[in-house]
Amino acid sequence: MTELAVSPETAALFAGDSELAQRCRALDWSATSLGPVDDWPTALRTAVRMALECPFPINMWCGPELLLIYNDAYRDVLGIKHPASLGKPGREVWGEIWPEISPMFDVIRRGGSPVYAENARFIMERESGPPREAWFTFSLSPIRDESGDVIAFLNVATETTTRVRAERDAQEARAAAERAEGQLRDVFSQAPAFMAVLKGPSHVFEFANEAYVHLVDHRDIIGKPIADALPEVFAQGFVDLLDRVLASGQAHVGRATPVRLKRGAAGESSLRYLDFVYQPLIDARGDRVGIVVHGADVTDAVRARHEVERLWVESEQARANVQASEARYRFLADAIPVQVWTATPDGALDHVSDLTAKYFGQTPAQLIGEGWLAVLHPDDVAATTGRWEQSLGSGAPYEAEYRLWSAAHASYRWHLARATAQRDDHGAIIRWFGTNTEIEEQKRAERELQRLTMEALEANRAKSDFLAAMSHELRTPLNAIGGYAQLIEMGLRGPVTDEQRVDLLKIQRSKNHLDGLVSDVLNFAKLGSGKIDFRVRPISVRQTVDAVIEMVAPQLVQKALRLESYAAPNDGHILADADRTRQILLNVFANALKFTAPGGTITPDVCVEPGLVLISVRDTGIGIPTEQLDRIFEPFIQVRRSVDSSDHGFGLGLAISRQLARAMGGDLTVRSEVGRGSTFTLTLPRAHI
């Protein structure tokens, strides 16, 4: 820099080594609107001198064009505008901010107050590149001459760009942090997990999200210590836990922890299971200032798990029961002397007791599936499998008789097989449970019984044949006796004395009695061999009974018995064989006569019912002991001989009569009391004509 030759005043004004002092000295001020330095007002010169020596950035806007005179410290404000700015008009130097600053000069010139601005923002072009923001704290005050006119402006300025930017960044950072915190709170508030912030040693609720508030049944907890807000939690030891976390700085993690929480106005407690974390909250200084409580209500999951566990235990129990009952079943199956087996729903044998297998001289494995068919008698295979298929198809119980091989007897033996289907809850067959019972002995007994029955029938027939033949043979000599007695009585063999006549009468009576006995035997024999023919047709009850009464009337008189009259409907008819019916009634009347002492009464009676007619004969005779009532209908059974010892029979009459009645679809029954009499009742089907 070439220094001009300056006056001692100028040199004194711009004295010093500072760059601007040197530049001021070098500048030809007389070429500017300020004019030669020597002509400058004293006030200006004093101010310039002070400014150049001041370490604080100072610029002076001098003269009417507001030419710039500044110190070294102000260079940074100008940037690349330095050093060209020195002695240049303000409008030229600061064209980009002139609209903003020029009014300040005007205001002061017009007597307004000096300007003081803090962190005023300007867009400046003081470095290469696009204009940039800059901030200044500055004052602008007038420099006046002796007459008080403003000759310049003193501008003390300090750039605060760095600080402002730092503050702005800090502010933005704070805002961002607040925004982030707000967002975080929103997220926390709506999070399905519960969350709360507890502050200080007494764990005061500072924040609780919706899930937490819901968990504690919407109680008013914010701002309250946890021990007051949730007393039941305190009682369960959770506050101690919080104290420990705060004291140690170690987080606590709880899994499916049971917690009793009060619910509702009545305050009944509800058991919840919580997964949670107590996380110490550390501030910027590293102090533990609180605890973040964070977690989830896992009650449903825990209950579901408990339920699953319970069901598992139950199913294990059920399985154990099934195993135990199966073991019991196998024990029983092996212990009982019946062959026991089970089969699958499709009929394949899946289990055979050891005892069963042993019976066949086989192992259970050999019989499984269709193996058992090998021990079945070949002649029984078709019928048995057919029957089995039928049960498998219908599910109906299976029953069959067949022969199975017995290893011990080395022969086939008869068995009765039975099986029933075991069904599940839906009715589907899950298994067949079967048994085989050996019935060889029963079968043998059955065959023996059949044989004996056949033999008995045969013997009976032979007996009947014999009796029939014998009776027939007896008839011929009896008829001869009767015939010859009659011849003598008629006097054909010579005169007959009175004594002889009496004897002949006795012969006749004995012959008749014998004839009756032979008839009984013959009838009985015929009944036994089924050789009696019945001519069943409608017959009148009255006529039949009257005919019989007529036949016994002489004997009634003879025995001094009274016959009660009876009422029988005229139109009462029975469907029966007339001869056989008379035979039955005759037998019943004859017995009444036989077993009733003289002076007694015999009372017939007829009762007509819708499908039946009952004909009864009551006597006042000796009666029959109760224990003998059934036996008198058996052949050859006599309880007591008749009251008239000359008049007894074979004990066949009632046996024959009952068989005849039954053969005609009726019956013969008795009621009796010893000493009071008997009532015999013949029942026969009624004929509707």
Which residues bind to ligand ADP, rule: CB under 6 A? 587, 591-592, 595, 619, 621-622, 624, 632, 637-640, 648-655, 678
Nearer to ligand ADP, 369 or 651 (CB): 651
CB of 682 to ligand ADP, least distance (A): 13
Rounded least distance, CB 502 to ligand ADP, Å: 27
What is the DSSP track for 2-34? PPP---HHHHHHT-SSSHHHHHHHHS-GGGSTT
Minimal CB distance residue for ligand ADP: 649
Scanning the structure block, which residue is given the tokens 């009175």? Answer: 498
To the nearest 10 degrees (0 to 180), the angle between helices 653-663 and 498-528 is 40
Min CB(390)–ligand ADP separation in Å: 53
Nearest distance from residue 643's CB to ligand ADP, in Å? Answer: 9
Q: How far is the CB of 593 from ligand ADP (least distance, A)?
A: 8
The CB-of-680 to ligand ADP minimum distance in angstroms stands at 7
Of the pair 484, 650, the CB lying nearest ligand ADP is at: 650
- DSSP secondary structure of 252-306: EEEEEEEEEEEETTTTEEEEEEEEEEEEEEE-TTS-EEEEEEEEEE-HHHHHHHH
Q: What pairs with residue 418 in β-bridges?
A: 399, 435
φ, ψ of residue 208 in degrees (nearest 5) = -150, 130
Tokens in use for 169?
């960044």
Round to whole Å and give the CA distance between 596 and 589.
11
Nearer of residues 196 and 590 to ligand ADP, judged by Cβ: 590
Compute the distance between CA of residue 227 and CA of residue 107 in angstroms, rounded to an integer.
67
Instruction: Name the E strands within 377-492.
Output: 398-406, 411-423, 429-438
Which residue number, 434 or 621, has a Cβ lying nearer to ligand ADP? Answer: 621
Contact 75, 46 (CB under 8 A): no
Three-state DSSP class for residue 240: helix
Helical residues (DSSP H) of 490-540, grouped into ranges: 498-528
Asked if residues 296 and 192 have their Cβ atoms less than 8 Å apart, the reply is: yes
In this complex, which beta carbon is closest to ligand ADP, that of residue 508 or of residue 638?
638
Tell me the one-letter amino acid at 621: G
Q: Min. distance of Cβ 555 from ligand ADP in angstroms? A: 14
Between 254 and 635, name the residue whose CB sits nearer to ligand ADP. 635
Complex with ligand ADP: residue 280 or 649, whichever CB lies closer? 649
Q: How far from chain centre, in Å, is Cα 399?
A: 35
Based on CB atoms, which residue is closest to ligand ADP, 188 or 595?
A: 595
Q: Residue 494 corresponds to which tokens in the numbers above?
A: 């010579």
First to last CA, the chain: 174
Nearest approach in angstroms of CB 678 to ligand ADP is 4
Specify whether the CB–CB gap between 616 and 605 falls below 8 A: yes
Report the largest interatomic distance among the alpha carbons of the chain, rounded to a whole angstrom: 234
Name the strand (E) or helix (H) holding 361.
Answer: none
Q: How far is the CB of 579 from ligand ADP (least distance, A)?
A: 18
Nearer to ligand ADP, 290 or 677 (CB): 677
Minimum separation from the CB atom of position 499 to ligand ADP (A): 31
Cα torsion through 553, 557, 560, 563, rounded to 10: 30
Nearer to ligand ADP, 59 or 523 (CB): 523
Of 322 and 674, nearer to ligand ADP (C-beta) is: 674
> What single string gives the DSSP state of each residue in 602-666?
EEEEEEE-SSEEEEEEEE-S----GGGTTGGGSTT--SS--SSGGG---S-HHHHHHHHHHHTT-
DSSP assigned state of 427: S
Sign of CA dihedral 299, 302, 306, 308: positive
Taking the least distance from each CB to ligand ADP, the nearer of 197 and 617 is 617
Minimum distance from residue 519 beta carbon to ligand ADP (Å): 12
- Cβ contact 234:227 at 8 Å: yes
Cα–Cα distance, 46 to 44 (Å, whole number): 5
CB of 406 to ligand ADP, least distance (A): 53
Q: Least distance to ligand ADP from the beta carbon of 660, Å?
A: 12
SS3 of 511, please?
Answer: helix
> Considering beta carbons, is residue 47 or 654 the nearer one to ligand ADP?
654
Question: Which residue's CB is nearer to ligand ADP, number 493 or number 676?
Answer: 676
Contact between 252 and 273 (Cβ < 8 Å): no
- The least CB distance from residue 649 to ligand ADP, in Å, is 2
What's the closest the beta carbon of residue 599 comes to ligand ADP, in angstroms? 15
Q: Are 291 and 276 in contact (CB under 8 A)?
A: no
366 vs 679, which CB is nearer to ligand ADP? 679
CB of 647 to ligand ADP, least distance (A): 9
Nearest CB to ligand ADP, comparing residues 156 and 668? 668
Distance CA 438, CA 337 (A): 10
